[in-house]
Structure 1
């Protein structure tokens, strides 16, 4: 049932069979898992019980939680990070059809997943303990409902049930201040009575403005603090006392400044900030360094938050996403810092002014970043030769507001592993782009958006021979490319905000373009 060939429909048939034959579902499931599914995968799968039914779980969130919970087995000689091992666990569960992919990123990586309903029915019959883990679904039938959302006098005597609590997740997504107040009171009482001191995970993602008590610093074993989409304006200034913290997520909040005590978190591995609200880290105190930090995403850098003697101490990053408002001389330190990031896999840079409009980027070669696979650049490239010196391992490239004058395709087509290419507004200001014969052999997705001067897109024979998706948006002068007929692997052609005549001609010509293949691509037209 749970081998690689199993499907969700087969799981449902097993459930129906057991119902008609009076055989307990759990017995069937246990018999199967004992024969084939490793115990470490079963533990990871069990974790889905904490999430509400039909809940679409971010792969990023799930993987990081698994690591924080200690569910990942890592060999001593393993060069992979715990997160990379966790991603393999997730991939294996998906390949066994035990976890269902809900959404993928453009790169093909899993973005959201869920536990199939059929399998969830089996798990709910399993009354085994979740090892002192608590999930608040704001369900009046849950035993914990009154403890979290009831009156203080009625819940205090029951808090001893959570003396050994290691994880608390809340999915109370009601509007208004009530969720934040109730969660705050629950935490304040629990910490005050000394019952939450073993907590490893505190995940309040989506809870509106939870009132974090100052006593949160007593959670000395906390590894994961999830505050994404909470719209908090501040975080406790004493955050640096959570010395075992590995993940701090304040993305999609109003937090503008992270206190400098964060530099004391020597075990911190992932820090997610909110770039839109120009989140900055306070100045770096001497003698402190986040040497284990692997993810720094959403930070804003200005002349008031210098890179030198601060951020440039972070040299083990694998993912870096930042926006900056720096002049040419101030960008020198930024370039030098990035040049030291030998482990970097994903990089997003945005040069913006006070209004968020693109500014000049004084960048040089990225060829030295041998492990870089994903690159996003937003800003006017002062040195356009940057695109001539990209790493060979690059699989995903996004350019916006680059204002390239020369056709970038002859350079980009030399990247042997590129699978995703997005050319957004004003990335190229010329009139012609050419995809040469035999080039872009691995490209799966090509997006061409808001190239207002582009007239001709030439696709030569045997170019883009693996392309699955072509997305064209707001290119008002573009003529219908005759070379579309060469795209034999195309699955979807998306046209958005294109002239009516363009879409009509595509509809007329599609039989001529793809009459020699069994399945013509679907064509989606929208404004």
Structure 2
């Protein structure tokens, strides 16, 4: 990017600095010019640093920046030095990932926890701090970039600014915090000074971009974390991981490895020897396309995170369900039915917080076993209708008081969407995200949903009565998504003063909808509206009231008359309008049971 002018520099600084005393910002113009020399990165990092200081101390802080040929490096060095001790290792940990690598937030948080950089569990101890808080602090300091946001403005992916890889992370590698193994060389900590009492040539955390042929046994003796980025193409299973584990087990001493992250490695070969890693906390196998995992994985005494999402695994070792320390379990419709139910331990994992991707057939686990999962905060289930009616829905409504996110899908014996017997969920007062797939009772009343809901998604709900009057009364609803066949009516009305904080609305494939009315003061904060394949919608009333808040309107495969009506209205001139014509497969026939 080109260097910014003095006014542009001050404008960027003003945009990125967080302070209630805005009157102090113009006084910084000369200092910003001198210290940052028009370099956008230096300005952004400086703004993040000063956001943590009182404006009265800004001049004192900037006085510590040494003039150099590279202002960005000077500012970044000061910003890093200013980090609290607990944030420095969290930031340095990003150095394990390749430059410009987009890191899923889910993955980063679980790794931080496994490494002990963040103390977090479902026990609620006073000394615990969530990884979200650490991440937010680093983002506010502009030390981490958010690459992609969710609709609710929570981060999905992140990355480290490239300048960290050039100027900060090499020092971390040199000090032994981590090591990087590339195709061309292996960057291990230097051989220690002979006069030193403590040896530092230990491979503690390894980011591996190739195979492990260059590892010596002595290098592996103190290995704690192994993250592989060996994403070679082809259909040959990766055997080097198994070789590595055998080397570690055969060595004298205690296996210290706590993290084994093989995300995106094609079919890594794992044998039963993995069960001999008593300190392993994190096992990441997402996108590995594995067909199975060793039975001994269920016997790992310290395992906290198991991620087998986007694999071909259909069954987990039964001992997994007896894991005492397991907190996060990510799966892909792994089946839980009669054959497994008979072998389930009497007690369920007591510390489980995240359970995603479980498929429950006609016979669900016992109610006593399910009641042991009281600490769940995130739950994603696909269930046969019989299990839902008898066990699952009552269990969710009555027992999961800490639940924050619920995704529930009802299916019949042919795996088609089925009925979803929703019960009153007003007692689930921690629930903020709800995604329901399946036909709901004739009327979905607002009294059945918790007032805490911030995001609601409905699919194949087959509602015959307009849900908008009731849903508009949810005081915290930020995002509403009505997907295919969620509403079967012809008219929809958003009543006056309804949806007071709604910011995102998506209407997809509501096949019968013909008219949509917005009464006065409805959706006053709506910023994003997307309508897709509502082929009969050609009558709107009150839409012009949205133009004061709306920033983006997306119309996909909508009637030409609707598009023309919107484009000719002057009040929509400041709204970014996108019109798409896409090829879609026809919706499948509606064969699900009502």
Q: Fold match, TM over 0.5?
A: yes
Q: CA deviation at 1:159?
A: 2.7
Q: CA deviation at 1:305?
A: 4.5
1:403 alignment partner in structure 2: 462
Q: Which moved more, 1:416-425 or 1:97-106?
A: 97-106
Q: CA deviation at 1:74?
A: 6.8
CA contact (8 A) 2:469 2:495 kept: yes
Q: CA deviation at 1:189?
A: 2.7
1:352 alignment partner in structure 2: 411
Q: CA deviation at 1:354?
A: 4.7
Which of the numbers 85, 91, 98 marks the counterpart of 2:136? 91
Matched, 1:495 2:550: no
Matched, 1:481 2:525: no
Q: CA deviation at 1:358?
A: 0.8
1:109 alignment partner in structure 2: 154
2:257 alignment partner in structure 1: 199
Find the aligned partners of 1:43 and 1:76 in 2 and give their Cα distance.
23
1:223 alignment partner in structure 2: 281
Counting matched residue pairs gives 512
Find the aligned partners of 2:335 and 2:226 in 1 and give their Cα distance.
29
Matched, 1:435 2:511: no
Matched, 1:458 2:502: no
CA contact (8 A) 2:103 2:157 kept: yes
1:520 alignment partner in structure 2: 575
Find the aligned partners of 1:478 and 1:23 in 2 and give their Cα distance.
58
1:267 alignment partner in structure 2: 325
1:257 alignment partner in structure 2: 315
CA contact (8 A) 1:395 1:417 kept: yes
1:21 alignment partner in structure 2: 68
Deviations 1:65-121, CA, capped at 9 Å, x for gaps: 111111125799965795x61101111111111111111111211001111123332
Find the aligned partners of 1:408 and 1:147 in 2 and give their Cα distance.
52
Matched, 1:175 2:222: no
Deviations 1:228-283, CA, capped at 9 Å, x for gaps: 111111111122221111111111111111111112310110001102x6477933
Q: CA deviation at 1:60?
A: 1.1
Q: CA deviation at 1:130?
A: 6.8
Gap change, CA 1:317 and 1:79, over 3 Å in 2: same
Gap change, CA 1:382 and 1:147, over 3 Å in 2: closer
Gap change, CA 1:77 and 1:396, over 3 Å in 2: closer
Find the aligned partners of 1:474 and 1:37 in 2 and give their Cα distance.
50
Gap change, CA 1:387 and 1:479, over 3 Å in 2: same
Which of the numbers 65, 78, 82 marks the counterpart of 2:111? 65
1:297 alignment partner in structure 2: 356
CA RMSD after TM alignment:
3.2
CA contact (8 A) 2:351 2:375 kept: yes
Q: CA deviation at 1:485?
A: 1.3
Find the aligned partners of 2:435 and 2:385 in 1 and give their Cα distance.
18
Q: CA deviation at 1:13?
A: 6.9
Find the aligned partners of 1:194 and 1:498 in 2 and give their Cα distance.
68
Deviations 1:337-377, CA, capped at 9 Å, x for gaps: 21201111111100123544211112211111111111110
Structure 1 residues without counterparts, runs of 5 or longer: none
Find the aligned partners of 2:477 and 2:208 in 1 and give their Cα distance.
52
Deviations 1:100-147, CA, capped at 9 Å, x for gaps: 1111111211001111123332224424557564555x5333448999
Find the aligned partners of 2:402 and 2:122 in 1 and give their Cα distance.
20
Find the aligned partners of 1:87 and 1:422 in 2 and give their Cα distance.
25
Counterpart mapping for 1:101-180 below 5 A: 101-129=146-174, 131=176, 133-134=178-179, 139-143=183-187, 155=214, 158-178=216-236, 180=238
Find the aligned partners of 1:414 and 1:55 in 2 and give their Cα distance.
42
- Equivalent position SS for 1:361: coil
Counterpart mapping for 1:355-394 below 5 A: 355-382=414-441, 384-385=443-444, 388-394=447-453
- Equivalent position SS for 1:300: strand
1:33 alignment partner in structure 2: 80
Structure 2 residues without counterparts, runs of 5 or longer: 1-12, 20-31, 46-64, 189-205, 583-594
Find the aligned partners of 1:239 and 1:505 in 2 and give their Cα distance.
60
Gap change, CA 1:9 and 1:434, over 3 Å in 2: farther
Q: Which moved more, 1:419-428 or 1:333-342?
A: 333-342
Find the aligned partners of 2:552 and 2:211 in 1 and give their Cα distance.
52
Q: CA deviation at 1:441?
A: 1.1
- Equivalent position SS for 2:87: helix
CA contact (8 A) 1:362 1:383 kept: no
Find the aligned partners of 1:292 and 1:81 in 2 and give their Cα distance.
18
Q: CA deviation at 1:304?
A: 4.4
Q: CA deviation at 1:163?
A: 1.1
1:469 alignment partner in structure 2: 528
Gap change, CA 1:291 and 1:282, over 3 Å in 2: same
* Structure whose CA Rg is larger: 2
Gap change, CA 1:301 and 1:288, over 3 Å in 2: same
2:590 alignment partner in structure 1: none
Q: Which moved more, 1:352-361 or 1:53-62?
A: 352-361
TM-score, normalised via structure 2 length: 0.79
Q: CA deviation at 1:288?
A: 3.0
Find the aligned partners of 1:332 and 1:205 in 2 and give their Cα distance.
37
TM-score, normalised via structure 1 length: 0.88
Find the aligned partners of 2:183 and 2:423 in 1 and give their Cα distance.
55
Find the aligned partners of 1:442 and 1:242 in 2 and give their Cα distance.
46
